[in-house]
Amino acid sequence: MRPIDRLLEIMATLRDPRRGCAWDREQTFATIAPYTIEEAYEVADAIDHGDMAALKDELGDLLFQVVFHAQMAKDGDAFTFDDVATAIADKMVRRHPHVFGDAAVRDAETQTVAWEATKAEERAAKGHDSVLDGVARALPPMTRALKLQNRAARVGFDWPQAADVLAKIAEEAAEIKYEIDVAAPHERLEDEMGDILFACVNLARKLKIDPERALKRANAKFDRRFRHVEAGLRADGRRPEDATLDEMEALWVDAKTIERKGEAGQ
């Protein structure tokens, strides 16, 4: 038996009404979706750490999620795992006419344009009226913002230069400052904060920077420097809550200085 067939059989057994697992039988697409998302992040984490053994395991976990959803669909007479595999295989062949057909492309950039054109045709065939149709609402907000902006940019709705986006960020910052000054309702502040974040994602896009990756690096930097602050205070037998902001800031600056020296020595 092929490994994939064995996995499909195991999943069918887990969902079997008589001899299956009670927990697996009770699950729905909605209850399993969070696990699917979590497994995708764990795959990304294994890649980030360069851990091939972990990546193998995490890819298996993610594959199991696909099998789980396919089995639930089969239970409801909607589709099967083979239907899923056939659909994606057909899509890949359709979107790569330069590989599986007679089309020719000059380079990766040309292929990207052709890929997007094919996707647009597919959306139109499905009756989608907007270029934004198909951008999943369940995506992490920053990822969805980037995808929405990319879609709009493809039809010309875009800032000409990155400097234009910087001006927009300054404008949004002035607006939220005004709302703070007038003690605006929380909902209004939240709305303005969203505008600033959306504009920052736009700036990252114009600079060809992955905003998720940039924020991830910023998170790691903050984590590293704050731990240095904690270590410095701990050496004096104190905790952050026992120190003043100025004392913690001095240790923070020390952490930055150490990092710069390390970078200069590389």
Which pLDDT tens digit goes with each residue over 248-266? 999 999 999 999 988 877 6
Report the domain count for the chain: 4
Rounded (5°) CA angle 136-143-151: 65
Sign of the Cα pseudo-torsion (90, 92, 98, 99, in order)? negative
Phi-psi region of 127 (alpha: psi -120 to 50; beta: other; left: phi over 0): left
Tell me: do 234 and 178 sit in the same domain: no
Residue 79: domain span: 3-93
Q: Are 20 and 13 in contact, with CB atoms under 8 Å apart?
A: yes
Per the domain annotation, does 133 fall within a domain? no
Per the domain annotation, does 13 fall within a domain? yes
Tell me: do 8 and 89 sit in the same domain: yes
**Quick one: tokens of 224?**
């590293």
Q: Are 234 and 179 in contact, with CB atoms under 8 Å apart?
A: no
* Average pLDDT, rounded, for the chain: 92
Q: CA of 101: how far to CAs of 8, 23, 93, 96, 223, in Å? A: 33, 46, 8, 8, 50
Which pLDDT tens digit goes with each residue over 177-236? 999 999 999 999 999 999 999 999 999 999 999 999 999 999 999 999 999 999 999 999
Q: Does the global pTM surpass 0.85?
A: no
Tell me: do 153 and 200 sit in the same domain: yes
More confident residue, 138 or 164: 164
